[in-house]
A and B are shown apart, each in its own frame.
Chain A
Amino acid sequence: MGSEEGLPPGSGEPEGDKTQRIGRPADEQKPPLAWSEQDESTQYTSGGSVEYQDASTTRPKPPTPAELRAREKFAQKQREIEEARLEAEANRRKRNRRLIGAGVAVGVVGVVAGLGYWALSAPSVTAQCVRDDQNGQPVIVPDSYCTDHTAGLNGFFFFGGHQYRYYYGSSGSIGQRPTGGTTTAPKGATITTKSGTTIQRGGLGGKFSSGKGGGS
């Protein structure tokens, strides 16, 4: 048996070959390091590319017709669910009324907090959809909870057993308490939401502004 045959791979090869494999070719050209400030996409000869996105400058691409259809179906389904729920609630209320007699009178003069209701061209205010938690404190939720559902009484939206409403001019992200803002829409302001879509962000990663990363 030759002296090299019984050895595990890697331990008996000629040194010269091994050096080649471990080291890099000395004349090799590295690609430019791309974390110098570069906004545009960098192209590689391989056909690959490097692009960055950030929340303040990246804009959505227009949806495809198939996506629009799927979204419309989703919205329709949400409306159906909500209608069924409202109907069930109405039935329950009727039953309750029979049980508890007169029941509690709820004001019927609703203020519909619709988008653009106060749209007069004046200052623009961002509305955030909030839900009260069990302590009665508001927590920011995705806008879709407000936009996709029928407005109810006093600017409240009802969905899935919770009530939602808008905070105007507040800041904060989903899951946090809104900072600042008011529950009454400022008069004469253009009111917009950040999204009005079904896309939620912030569900991965950190909730706090500074801390340890995930690397190790």
Chain B
Amino acid sequence: MKRLTTQPRPNWRSIVESQGLVYGTPARDARGADRPYWDESVYYEFDMDEILALEADVELLHSMCLNAVEQVVLMDRYADFGLPEWSWQPIAESWRRSDPHVYGRFDLRYDGRRPAVLLEYNADTPTTLLEAAILQWYWLKDKFPNDDQWNSLHEQLVDRWKMVRDLLPSDELHFTWSGVESTGEDQITTTYMQETAAEAGFQTVGLMIEDIGWDSALERFVDLEESEIHTMFKLHPWEWVLEDEFGRHVVSSLPQTMWIEPLWKTLLSNKAILAVLWEMYPGHPNLLPAYLDDPHELTEYVRKPKLGREGANITIVGGGMDTATGGVYGEEGFVYQLLDPLPQFDDMRPALGAWIVGDSSAGLGIRETGGLVTDDGAAFVPHRIPPK
């Protein structure tokens, strides 16, 4: 793994805009100066061997996560996850029915010297998908046409939708995002998912989640045409759905209305799963020690809210790196994870976002920060695998 610089394509800004990148709030470099969110003046280079090892790690982590869900359901450990009690039974049912899942993103610490370790798992509403699937692919084709990339996201998403289609009662699929998300990132990500599903043969309809209707007479969700919604892809986290006014309707609509990602993923997108994994697989090379609500023996640790996102409300203790980020999360408790600082390449720190589609590894996206926490000031940078 190496960090290298290169000349950006002369018209890169209009290229990535035409490919859908209209959101990129400016990122920051190590000195705090603005840098483009999509920064193709830098890239990472990997050996195929490294990528093969990472792929194997990701699929292993995925299967460990599924085992962890099974354990949480069997042992009724929902309280550790800060989930409302009325949702426990439906979560278990969603898991036992094997409600279909489509994708997720593991955030890994990797430096090319020792095995990748799991920092967290975005199992429910991962973004940076378009960057990883489309933008960096076309960058590679323009700059290094003979190189490879850890990237079969598009094909695997289409294939996964085809498989999911056989499990659903109807080939109509609604896609929804929150209209209050002001940058457009959620809408673009949702629209990209919608395209992959359409390519797989689904009749897709996109609309804002605020426009979804609940028909109390017929007890069903409807779109703006007042047609029944059979299956809904939502870029809206389950913990928010459960708090929303229609949350109970959503849960009681299962499985007549199928929601993707499925309800059981609310366990995986919750950082309490990190502690469960460490309990089940202590000392595993791809895991860091992690505990619920108390640091135990850890003297250097990262405290993360169970339901935080975008690097908010993170506290780092130890290593002369004590720092904290602000935010609105943490009401439901915290997880303490051993501090294993992101490695430094030049003056930046990359975090690897490794994608899983269905049950197989599907691609890589890299985000870089100057600081220790990969937050919304992180830039997305592409990668390549040169031929041997």
Interface set, chain B 8-41, CB cutoff 8 A to A: 18-20
The residue of chain A having its C-beta at the shortest distance from the C-beta of B388 within the complex is A15
Q: Which residues of B contact A98 (CB under 8 A)?
A: none
A26 and B141 contact, Cβ closer than 8 Å, known pairs A52-B205, A201-B211, A213-B180: yes
Q: Which residues of A contact B171 (CB under 8 A)?
A: 48
Q: Which residues of A contact B182 (CB under 8 A)?
A: 210-211
A100 smallest CB distance to B (angstroms)? 37
Contact of A50 among B48, B148, B206 (CB under 8 A): B206
Are B48 and A53 in touch, CB under 8 angstroms? no
The residue of chain B having its C-beta at the shortest distance from the C-beta of A13 within the complex is B52
Contact of B206 among A44, A51, A206, A212 (CB under 8 A): A51
The residue of chain B having its C-beta at the shortest distance from the C-beta of A50 within the complex is B198
A53 and B241 contact, Cβ closer than 8 Å, known pairs A11-B53, A214-B125, A216-B126: no
A49 and B141 contact, Cβ closer than 8 Å, known pairs A200-B213, A215-B185: no
Contact of B152 among A8, A11, A21, A59 (CB under 8 A): A21
The residue of chain B having its C-beta at the shortest distance from the C-beta of A48 within the complex is B198
The residue of chain A having its C-beta at the shortest distance from the C-beta of B250 within the complex is A204
Stretch with Cβ within 8 A of B (4 or more), from A68-76, A85-93, A112-120: A68-76
CA distance A207 to B245 in the complex (A): 11
Q: Which residues of B contact A54 (CB under 8 A)?
A: 207-208, 211, 224
Q: Which residues of B contact A197 (CB under 8 A)?
A: 215, 226
Are B245 and A19 in touch, CB under 8 angstroms? no
Interface set, chain A 11-42, CB cutoff 8 A to B: 11, 15, 18-19, 21-24, 26, 30-31, 33-35, 42
Are B56 and A8 in touch, CB under 8 angstroms? yes
The residue of chain A having its C-beta at the shortest distance from the C-beta of B107 within the complex is A216
Q: Which residues of B contact A198 (CB under 8 A)?
A: 215-218
Q: Is the interface of A mostly helix, strand, loop or mixed?
A: loop
Interface set, chain B 188-237, CB cutoff 8 A to A: 188-189, 191, 194-195, 197-218, 222-227, 235-237
**Is A202 among interface residues, defined by CB-CB distance under 8 A?**
yes
**Is A102 among interface residues, defined by CB-CB distance under 8 A?**
no
CA distance A112 to B211 in the complex (A): 31
**Is A101 among interface residues, defined by CB-CB distance under 8 A?**
no
B236 smallest CB distance to A (angstroms)? 4
Are B218 and A71 in touch, CB under 8 angstroms? yes
Total contacting residues, chain A, CB less than 8 A? 61
A37 smallest CB distance to B (angstroms)? 12
Q: Which residues of B contact A70 (CB under 8 A)?
A: 217-218
CA distance A87 to B320 in the complex (A): 73
Q: Which residues of B contact A11 (CB under 8 A)?
A: 52-53, 56
CA distance A72 to B199 in the complex (A): 40
**Is B322 among interface residues, defined by CB-CB distance under 8 A?**
no
**Is B368 among interface residues, defined by CB-CB distance under 8 A?**
no
Are B244 and A205 in touch, CB under 8 angstroms? yes
**Is B301 among interface residues, defined by CB-CB distance under 8 A?**
no
Are A34 and B195 in touch, CB under 8 angstroms? yes
Provide the B236-253 mask, 1 if CB < 8 A to any CB of A, else 0: 110011001111011000
A33 and B310 contact, Cβ closer than 8 Å, known pairs A44-B201, A206-B210, A215-B181: no
Q: Which residues of A contact B99 (CB under 8 A)?
A: none
Q: Which residues of A contact B224 (CB under 8 A)?
A: 53-55, 58-60
Are B215 and A206 in touch, CB under 8 angstroms? no
Q: Which residues of A contact B180 (CB under 8 A)?
A: 205-211, 213
Provide the A162-202 mask, 1 if CB < 8 A to any CB of B, else 0: 00000000000001000000000000000000000111111
Are A214 and B235 in touch, CB under 8 angstroms? yes
Contact of B210 among A21, A204, A214, A215 (CB under 8 A): A204
Contact of A203 among B125, B149, B244 (CB under 8 A): B244
A199 and B19 contact, Cβ closer than 8 Å, known pairs A204-B245, A205-B178, A210-B180: no
Q: List 22 A-B contacts (CB under 8 A).
A: A9-B56, A11-B56, A18-B48, A18-B52, A19-B148, A24-B152, A24-B154, A31-B199, A44-B201, A48-B197, A49-B202, A50-B206, A54-B208, A58-B207, A199-B214, A201-B210, A203-B212, A203-B249, A204-B210, A205-B244, A214-B237, A215-B127
**Residues in B lying within 8 Å of A, measured CB to CB:** 18-20, 48, 51-53, 55-56, 59, 122, 125-127, 134, 137, 141, 145, 148-152, 154-155, 171, 176-183, 185-186, 188-189, 191, 194-195, 197-218, 222-227, 235-237, 240-241, 244-247, 249-250, 269, 309-310, 385, 388
- 8 new A-B pairs (CB below 8 Å) besides A15-B388, A74-B217? A22-B55, A22-B151, A35-B20, A49-B198, A175-B245, A198-B216, A210-B180, A211-B180
